[in-house]
A and B are shown apart, each in its own frame.
Chain A
């Protein structure tokens, strides 16, 4: 086995066991605390499916699709469990909800502040930072729903925030070989700004109508990226930026015929070989390559959809070049000096 392959094992193999343990823990809890009740129809099945998908991805050697599936399942599970656990507690009204909300907020804030990412790969850190960044909006949403429609309606979102925190905790515990060259984290603001401009320019009929859902996904991804960047969570903003590049690419990507499908398969294999041979932290590229692989080779043997083939092509043609550019220092404007300045906007926390 070559050194390069050993490195690949270190990067992709080691964290799988803690992730498997988390899947098993959630499966056990799901059995002990089945998700039932009004409004929860189908949630239990969706959580189970998500955990199964996560496990299958890990079995196929794809850590990152496994983690992404785990995050979705964990958020739903914690949301449903918390709503069931606390429904009676908040039945007395908003003050009881406020007490639960305040206690949960304090605990989540403490957990978030205590996370350390110095031994994490960029992709793991990006996933964790993104989950941490979802906690605030979920808590505010919880409060908003509780006030607007009733205390119990806010509980699911508090639980979901706890699920995001739990997932971030799992991510923070996944450490990597310190000998690997670190990913050069930096602000992605210029890139995010440019893709925002491109998204705005592309938003014209008929595409804006036909692909409305894709535009929503694109814009919310850019927004998440900007918020992460503003918080100096640069692994998270790089992850969201690359996801935005994929969404944007999907607006224009043509369908693939058989020759195109064979071609994308070859291109992915070549890209994967190059990444595996690298002695740098290439985990963000790995994340998208594994995504593409899971899209065109379903672990359950089912056939890929036309969109999945297109997505794989976009990852090769657009996401990987964007990733390579993101590793470089941001382009300085003409006549730049070496001085920099930090601009701080103090804003209202609730909007």
Chain B
């Protein structure tokens, strides 16, 4: 709500609105696939990548780590400055400065290399999936939509058996809670806790649930952010073509 606080400092001059990720035309137009993102009119002034990614500790994003008070102060000062510039008719300056900022989204073309241990201690390596379709779900124990998505992923795994590997990677969740959730769901999913490099390797994962689908050769076949109403329909359709390919 820092953005809203800044907007409130300009009564009658700054209109503050919120749009949900997944239903924002502005976000779609700029390829924004995570949250938060801030626009001033049609200029993207803060992209998700600048707030860091799950597990990030070193603060390579301009406003990361977000929990740090200095990061928030920097964000607030930047936003005030950019609002002042736009109100002064200098949107061109904002656009020019933003041209060097990190892209809104860093997509991935193929299954990135990563190595983790699953909850039983067994290794999970991106290179060991043996000609299978791979579905990677980033989730969190505090995310209700993730829970129902994971339940459904268990059903997908049972339906496709050895032709599909489902990797469920928890982020920003206590291990105790991760184990509790996993114990109540399908044991054939590969359950693990993602570290920061893994979240970064998948293109700076900043939202949960985020789901990646890869074909038998490891090429990216789809990515879904959040839990849109037709998620199951979309993924099942895509998956059917991949496993039978």
Binding site for B on A (CB under 8 A): 94-95, 98, 102, 105-106, 140, 143-144, 146-148, 187, 189-190, 193, 226-227, 229-232, 329-333, 336-337, 339-350
Contacts and interface: CB of A to CB of B under 8 A. Distances in A.
B4 A345 contact: yes
Contacts of B8: 189-190, 193
B166 interface: no
Nearest to B83: A341
Contact of B39 (A143, A232, A343): A343
Interface in B1-30: 3-24, 26-27
Contacts of A95: 151-152, 155
Given A340-B15, A341-B15, A347-B36, 6 more contacts: A143-B145, A337-B89, A342-B39, A344-B19, A348-B207, A350-B144
A147 B8 CA distance: 37
A239 B5 CA distance: 21
Contact of B13 (A98, A144, A332): A332
A100 to B, nearest CB: 12
Nearest to A194: B8
B86 interface: yes
Nearest to B3: A345
| Cβ-closest 10 pairs across A and B | A190-B11, A330-B12, A349-B20, A193-B8, A144-B144, A346-B37, A344-B39, A230-B18, A332-B12, A330-B11
B15 A342 contact: yes
B132 interface: no
Given A346-B26, A350-B143, A143 B148 contact: yes
B35 interface: yes
Interface of B: 3-24, 26-27, 32, 35-41, 83, 86-89, 143-145, 147-148, 151-152, 155, 207, 226, 229, 232
A333 B13 contact: yes
Contacts of A333: 9-13
B4 A341 contact: no
Given A343-B3, A346-B32, A349-B20, A94 B151 contact: yes
Given A231-B18, A346-B27, A347-B19, A339 B148 contact: no
A86 to B, nearest CB: 17
A144 B146 CA distance: 10
B21 A348 contact: yes
Among A147, A226, A333, A346, find the residue whose CB has the most chain B CB atoms closer than 10 A: A346
B103 to A, nearest CB: 15
Contacts of B12: 187, 190, 329-333, 336, 340
A337 B20 CA distance: 31
Contacts of A106: 229
Contacts of B232: 98
Contacts of B83: 341, 343
B13 A336 contact: yes
Nearest to A141: B144
B87 A349 contact: no
B87 A344 contact: no
A193 B147 CA distance: 35
Nearest to B45: A343
27 contacts: A94-B151, A95-B151, A98-B148, A147-B147, A187-B15, A189-B11, A193-B8, A329-B12, A333-B12, A336-B13, A339-B86, A341-B83, A342-B15, A342-B41, A343-B6, A343-B17, A344-B24, A345-B16, A345-B19, A346-B21, A346-B32, A346-B37, A347-B36, A348-B35, A349-B23, A349-B226, A350-B226
